[in-house]
Amino acid sequence: MTSLEWLPAACCPRGRMLGFITDFFTYETTKSVVVKSWLVGSINRFVQLLIIIYFVGWVFLHERSYQTKSTGIESAVMTKVKGFGRYNNQVMDVADYVVPQQGTSVFCIITRLIVTINQTQGVCPQYGRRYVCTQNSDCDKHLGSNLANGIFTGNCLTGYCEIEGWCPTENDTVQTEYMEEVENFTIFIKNSVRFAHFDITRGNFPADIDIKCIYHPVDHPYCPVFRVRDILTHANESFSTIARQGGQIGIHIRWMCDFDQALDRCKPSYSFTRLDDVFENNTISKGYNFRFAKYYKTPDEEDYRTLHKAFGIHFDVMVSGHAGKFDVIPTLINIVAACTSVGLATVLCDIILLNFLRGADQYKAKKFEEVSEVDIHAESRSQSLLTLKNEGKISEDSETVANGQQL
């Protein structure tokens, strides 16, 4: 025995290093132990069954993980609004109440107007309780403000602070009626999508569709013509409320296509929602409105305009979707994942056997067995000696038989 062999490894740096090297250059192999237990066997098969059901039912059938997926779609949307209404004793058509008029995926149908006529450039009082004044110094706090209808001059004019701009100023507190016919207007939506990964293009209606149809989620789920009242009903909104204050409505077109099936089965579905619902109870900037002006010239070449503050329903047509098609690579990957996951049942059963059942020490002794290189050499020498001994015995028996035959 050397001088270091009797020292514990923790007391000697050299011993710790040798211990680390010895532990590093080891090899572990699986040892099969058959445990005949109804409880553990039942748990093992039950967990394996759950894993198989999960992969077959959810991963393969529901999620279609045997397919290659594509979520990048190329989409084009064109819209047309149809309908006539009366407002301020005038008949309104599409050119009057649709903004913008190019038929894009984002557009607005005007439902109510506040009109300020004959505005010209000049100075005039800015009406409103916050702009009341008695002397010029009362208006100094408004200098540089962007909340009025023009630039403040710092003067007090007829009890209100004076502004320079388009006069007379707008009075947007006036309550006007909305155009009731809007709820019967129709919106035609033409949408084409291309799944670039599969080089497949689809449209939201066939060539032979009856254009007189009106969308209904059950009777006509693929009709591209939508009535405004029906859209608001599906979005759980009141027409009278949104027509008076304005609002934003989303029309969502979803394409969920399985190209392992017939191509004709790749059809869109529609849903509707109020996009600005989160601001419904706000006191600031409630609803949806915007301003625009129409400009004219007098015979004297002086510019004047009519200002419109418009309230309306802002529509936003959104398109999304994904498609899938069978592919060998994701199929093999998920099959391997399923086979590997089945082994989790063995891990669970080992945890139960090693920690929670009686006889855990006996199972641990059977499952884990440490064999050192010295034991291997000793076992090898023992086998060799046993072999030599057997060969010597056989040799002696042979000599005895030979001597007996000679006698």
With a pLDDT cut of 90, the percent of the chain lying above it is 54
Residue 385 inside a domain? The answer is no
Residue 316 inside a domain? The answer is yes
At 351, list the tokens.
């945890």
116 contacts 170 by C-beta, under 8 angstroms: yes
Q: Are residues 182 and 242 in the same domain?
A: yes
Q: Are residues 165 and 261 in the same domain?
A: no
**Following DSSP, what letter does each residue of 72-94 receive, concatenated?**
-EEEEEEEEEE--EEETTEEE-H
Which one is predicted more confidently, 359 or 126?
A: 126
Which one is predicted more confidently, 87 or 346?
A: 87
Give the per-residue pLDDT at 62. 87
Residue with tokens 């397919």: 67
Query: Which of these ranges, 274-283, 319-328, 379-388, has the smallest mean pLDDT?
Result: 379-388
* Residue 95 to residue 292: CA distance in whole angstroms: 14
pLDDT tens digits along 84-106: 999 988 999 999 999 998 889 99
- Which residues, at least 6 apart from 315, have a Cβ–Cβ distance to it below 8 Å? 79, 106, 107, 108, 109, 187, 248, 249, 250, 251
Residue 114 inside a domain? The answer is yes
Give the per-residue pLDDT at 134. 93
Give the per-residue pLDDT at 344. 84
Residue 332 inside a domain? The answer is yes
Number of domains in the chain: 3
Give the per-residue pLDDT at 306. 95
Res. 375: pLDDT tops 50: yes
Report, in angstroms and rounded to the nearest whole number, the Rg of the chain calculated over CA atoms: 43
Q: Are residues 165 and 177 in the same domain?
A: no
Give the per-residue pLDDT at 369. 65
312 closest CA partner among 282, 284, 283, 292: 292
Give the per-residue pLDDT at 119. 95
At 307, list the tokens.
């200002």
Res. 279: pLDDT tops 80: yes
Report long-range pairs for 233-241 (Cβ below 8 Å, ≥24 apart). 234/271, 234/272, 235/272, 235/273, 235/274, 236/274, 237/274, 239/182, 239/183, 240/178
* Residue 381 to residue 155: CA distance in whole angstroms: 115
Residue 397 inside a domain? The answer is no
| pTM greater than 0.85 (yes/no) | no
Which one is predicted more confidently, 279 or 13?
A: 279
Residue 26 inside a domain? The answer is no
Q: Are residues 56 and 110 in the same domain?
A: no
* Residue 86 to residue 185: CA distance in whole angstroms: 13
Q: Are residues 223 and 279 in the same domain?
A: yes
176 closest CA partner among 116, 241, 108, 244: 244
Residue 361 inside a domain? The answer is no
* Residue 89 to residue 87: CA distance in whole angstroms: 5
Residue 217 inside a domain? The answer is yes
182 contacts 315 by C-beta, under 8 angstroms: no
Q: Are residues 296 and 198 in the same domain?
A: yes
Q: Are residues 312 and 331 in the same domain?
A: no
- Reported as a pLDDT band with limits 50, 70 and 90, residue 347 is confident
Query: Which of these ranges, 22-26, 130-134, 203-207, has the smallest mean pLDDT?
Result: 22-26
Give the per-residue pLDDT at 371. 61
Q: Are residues 278 and 152 in the same domain?
A: no
Q: Are residues 41 and 156 in the same domain?
A: no
Provide the 3-class DSSP secondary structure of residue 404: helix
Give the per-residue pLDDT at 131. 93
Give the per-residue pLDDT at 7. 44
Res. 63: pLDDT tops 90: no
Q: Where does residue 143 rank: exposed (0-12), middle (13-18), buried (19+ CB within 10 A)?
A: exposed
pLDDT tens digits along 119-145: 999 999 998 889 999 999 999 999 989
Give the per-residue pLDDT at 4. 43
Q: Residue 229 belongs to a domain with what CATH number?
A: 2.60.490.10
Given 169, 192, 226, the domain boundary residue is 169
Residue with tokens 């913008």: 100
**Structural domain boundaries, residue 179:** 73-120+173-325
Res. 69: pLDDT tops 60: yes
Q: Residue 343 belongs to a domain with what CATH number?
A: 1.10.287.940
Q: Are residues 213 and 270 in the same domain?
A: yes
* Residue 239 to residue 216: CA distance in whole angstroms: 18
Q: Are residues 162 and 201 in the same domain?
A: no
Q: Are residues 156 and 237 in the same domain?
A: no
Cβ neighbour number for residue 379 with a 10 Å cutoff? 11
